[in-house]
Chains A and B, each alone.
Chain A
Amino acid sequence: MSALVKFVDMHKSFGDLEILKGVTFSVERGEVVAIIGQSGSGKSTALRCMDRLETIQGGELWVCGHALHRDDVDLKALRRDVGIVFQSYNLFPHLTAEQNVALAPRLVASKSHAEASDIAQAVLSKVGLAEKRAAYPEQLSGGQQQRVAIARSLAMQPKLMLFDEVTSALDPKLTGEVLRVMERLAADGMTMILVTHEMQFARNVADRVVYMRDGRIHEMGGPEILIKPQTPELADFITHEQ
């Protein structure tokens, strides 16, 4: 089986500042990969590169068969294959939960009003918010907003879901409800890559953990590396995260 995501000696810089200094790894279909590391280690940048929110300067990056290192990449097709959820939810404040979710099916997938509404209902129930479909984002808690944001991405039936520190703005209780939704997604076989500070969650749900440090992959392995790290840096990082 070919990899859904493949980094080959990938480099990314902002001006003179090199953020990613040669990253190589791949993610198979159905895998859940957690990327951990200090702030500034390049983990969020790596995630943003996978949805072409950042362009890369060297090496190769393949996502769902799209060659993101080339200029002729079909962005529209890429965005249909990839869903991304952000730390700050980024729901559209002038639209209800259902309208937020139905927007892309209607505009991008050209579904009818009724079809898009059905899709929205289905994915909102999946994240446990069917009864909140008429609510505006400001009427929802942070955890609920983040679940709507997940539903909004799921509505386009992506092949790959990216999560960028999606629980960092939430208190522990709300974090729990978002993580449970993500756990269910993982159990359903969704391919997921998440940048996270939730070590517990990474240990329980991730098939693989990637520890990034200073723009490179410092250590990578099964979730057991969070218990028995091979490098002193990861050991040190885990101690400080808990």
Chain B
Amino acid sequence: MQPQFLLSLLDGVLGTIVLSVLTFICGGLAGFVVALARISPLRSVSFAAIAYIQVFQGIPLLVQMGLAYFGPILLGFESVPPLAAAALAMSVFASAYLGQIWYGCLISVAKPQWEAAECLGLTRWQRMTRVVLPQAMRIATPPTVGFLVIIVKNTSVSSLVVGYQELTYNAKVINNATFEPFLYFGLAGIFYFLICYPLSVQSRALERKFNVGTR
């Protein structure tokens, strides 16, 4: 194996990590808004959140990525940078799932907690930030870290559509030149595992630490 191929794969690892981090930040922020909208007492707002979640969970990521990349071009815009298109599609995808996960965590904080805070005279915002969110975050941490693994693996979809140079894309390019698919896709698999395994371990450790079921 030539060293420049390994360097190219490591370069791909970096691309995968950059896209994953961008997705988690943007998708996380959007997902938080979706979760808050989902519990809104205003029916129109919560309905909009439900629709958003259903639509973007129902469309394959591959198609979303295609829309994010080719959509603007079809609408007459300049071509979109691959990273921007990939990050947009990934963030929308992640926000739909994270929004749903966090919605579940928010409503799993028992209603009497809201009531107790209400009876003390706390405003809705204070109830949310001082009483419900701190408890929901404890519940949310394990599934959120678990979802990070899914984000990392799904970044590989961007290689198929937008040609963003992440791990799978680089492995494919190298294979086209060397015709050694087992070696290079195998190496890519190992790198994915090396990124994801610590996250999975962390997720399980957090589950044990918070052990929310028994509280």
Contacts and interface: CB of A to CB of B under 8 A. Distances in A.
A92 B113 contact: yes
B134 A79 contact: no
Contacts of B119: 51, 53, 79, 82-84, 153
B121 A80 contact: yes
Contacts of B180: none
B118 A79 contact: yes
Nearest to A108: B121
A221 interface: no
Contacts of B126: 107
B131 interface: yes
A93 B117 CA distance: 12
* Interface residue tally on A, bucketed by range: 20 to 34
A210 to B, nearest CB: 22
Interface in A62-88: 76, 79-80, 82-84, 86, 88
Contacts, number: 50
A76 B126 CA distance: 13
Question: Which of B116, B120, B130 is the most central at the interface, judged by chain A CB atoms within 10 Å of its CB?
Answer: B120
B121 A103 contact: no
Given A76-B121, A104-B121, A86 B135 contact: no
A51 B115 CA distance: 10
B112 A90 contact: yes
Given A92-B131, A93-B135, A156 B120 contact: yes
Interface residues of B, number: 17
Contacts of A80: 121
Interface string A89-105: 01111100000000110
A152 B120 contact: yes
A108 B135 CA distance: 21
Nearest to B135: A94
Counting chain A CB atoms within 10 Å of each CB, the highest count among B119, B131, B135 belongs to B119
Given A76-B121, A152-B120, A90 B130 contact: no
A233 interface: no
A104 B122 contact: yes
A83 B135 CA distance: 23
Interface in B135-173: 135, 138
A138 interface: yes
Contacts of B115: 53, 86, 90
A80, A107, A153 — most chain B CB neighbours (10 Å) = A107
B130 A103 contact: yes
B120 A104 contact: yes
Contacts of A92: 113, 116-117, 131, 135
28 contacts: A53-B115, A53-B119, A76-B121, A79-B118, A80-B121, A83-B119, A86-B116, A88-B112, A90-B113, A90-B115, A92-B113, A92-B117, A93-B215, A94-B134, A94-B135, A103-B120, A103-B122, A104-B122, A107-B122, A107-B126, A107-B130, A108-B120, A108-B121, A108-B122, A138-B215, A153-B119, A153-B120, A156-B121
